[in-house]
Structure 1
């Protein structure tokens, strides 16, 4: 799989080739050069198509890279998923939503000493659950 740097270099090369082809197309004025101009126009069109496809590939590769990084940071901490990035931990995330649809749905603390998913309505209980303190409004 090509890396992001090589795709960027390919895009730059295609842009340069497109610019050169445009210069060649605009430089001639004689009737004999009409066929060359037509071929150069086809070349420019093909290069533009290739440039668009490479840009789409680069976007897709970036999305796949982000997904792989997220998957690498995802940890199973029974009974749910957590994301660990260095010293920071995010979560918990619903195991049912992730296992079935790869959706990272954050679980919500429940008054029933556990975690609830507002999407699939799953309930997960663990030994480390701590009920959040009530919010006090000062006047």
Structure 2
């Protein structure tokens, strides 16, 4: 998430670039050619810093948008999460991993009529799963 420091750094770089541009504009012929080149180099550096900061902020904003759209598509289908895309459901995903760490870990089908998480080692039975009756031995 973009923090105040990142936004402040980007704004400070833009402010510095603006001040340098004003200085160059107002200096006219009074500055030596070398000083003008130095000020232009400072201006380019400040603008590059601002561009990098804003690109990082844009990346963070895109990640947040992706996370929000994923969260909107996430559906609780007891006992796990699914992602709904139109009429299709994708998943299932581990509820423990998502609830504790917001990680979308796909569950693996198990021969025991349930789903296993290879990350947290959780096991989840489908809602239609019925425990088999105990085996009785005559003896």
1:10-43 deviation digits (Å, cap 9, x = unpaired): xxxx9xx9xxx8xx9xxxxxx8222222212111
- 2:85 is aligned to 85
1:96 aligns with 2:88: no
Return the alpha-carbon distance in structure 2 between the equivalents of residues 113 and 36 of structure 1: 75
CA distance in 2, matches of 1:45, 1:101: 39
- Normalising by structure 1, what TM-score? 0.67
Structure-to-structure mapping, 1:43-122, within 5 angstroms: 43-122=43-122
Bigger relative contact order (CA 8 A; separation at least 6): 2
Partner in structure 1 of residue 36 of structure 2: 36
Q: Equivalents in 2 of 1:109, 1:35: separation in Å? A: 70
Question: In the comparison of the two structures, how many residue pairs are matched?
Answer: 104
Aligned with 1:82: secondary structure? strand
Larger Rg: 2
Return the offset for 1:128: 3.7
The gaps in structure 2 that reach 5 residues or longer are 1-13, 25-30, 130-139
Q: Take 2:43 and 2:36, find their aligned partners in 1: how far apart are those partners? A: 10
2:42 and 2:92 mapped to 1: Cα distance?
55
| Distance (whole Å) between structure 2 residues aligned to residue 78 and residue 56 of structure 1 | 38
**Alpha-carbon RMSD:** 2.3
